[in-house]
Structure 1
Amino acid sequence: MFAETFLLLYVGHLLADYPLQTDHQAAHKAGPGRRGWTANATHASVHVLACAALLGLGALVLGWRLPLLPTLAALAWIGTTHAAIDRRRLIAAWMRWARQPKFADHGGAAHVDQTAHVLALALAALFLAA
């Protein structure tokens, strides 16, 4: 069940991060103040909804019986970690700590960002499969 769950969560992530993310969310989700926090929360909510929809589809098609509380906990984890990662401060801190300024200057932050998201999804899928 891990592989199927992870794949569905990853597809949900891709949908929410690319075709379902608005230009406003992309431009402001890491920004200061209410505007930034609102864009960030809205974007993270889209992730939760996309992942919930795909988990529901997986349950329907594959005959899963996902327990409600662990599923809600996994979705909360996805929304929370996605919001924290997209504020970009953790990624910038990691890249400073890992001594990656040249990588950061040449677009590396986007790769580290996506790696952090995939790690969070893998942990959610492991939790649901356990």
Structure 2
Amino acid sequence: MFAEVLFLLYVGHLLADYPLQTDHQATHKADPGRRGWTANGTHAAVHVAVCALLLTVGWLVLGWRLPVLPTLAVLVWIGTTHAAIDRQRLVAAWMRWARQPEFAAHGGAAHVDQTAHILALTIAALFLAA
């Protein structure tokens, strides 16, 4: 079940991060102040909604029996971690700590960002499959 959950959460992530993310969200989700937090929060909410929908599909189509509270905890985890990662401070701090200024200067932050999101989804899938 782990692989199936992870796959659907990853598909949800891709849908929410690319075709369902508005230009406004993409441009402003890391900005300071209310505008940044609003763009970030609405973007994270889309992630939660899409992942909830796909977990429901898993329940209906694949016959998963996901316990309610752990599933809600996973959805909170997905929203919270996605919002925190997209604020970009953790990614920038990681790249400074890992001594990756050249990688950062040439678009590496986007790769570190996506890797962090996949790690968070993997932890979510492990939690649900346990």
Partner of 1:94: 94
Residues 1-130 of structure 1 aligned to structure 2 (within 5 Å): 1-130=1-130
CA distance in 1, matches of 2:16, 2:62: 23
Task: Return structure 1 stretches of 4+ with deviation > 4 angstroms.
Answer: none
CA distance in 2, matches of 1:11, 1:64: 17
Once the two structures are TM-superposed, the CA of residue 17 in structure 1 deviates from its matched residue by: 0.1
Alignment TM-score, normalising by the size of structure 2: 1.00
CA distance in 2, matches of 1:64, 1:127: 14
Q: How many residues were matched structurally?
A: 130
Deviations 1:7-42 (Å, cap 9, x if unpaired)? Answer: 000000000000000000000000010000000000
CA distance in 2, matches of 1:113, 1:29: 13
Percent identity over the alignment? 82
Deviations 1:88-117 (Å, cap 9, x if unpaired)? Answer: 000000000000000000000000000000
Structure 2 residues without counterparts, runs of 5 or longer? none
CA distance in 1, matches of 2:84, 2:63: 33
Query: Amino acid of the residue matched to residue 43 of structure 1?
Result: H
Alignment TM-score, normalising by the size of structure 1: 1.00
CA distance in 1, matches of 2:87, 2:23: 16
Structure 1 residues without counterparts, runs of 5 or longer? none
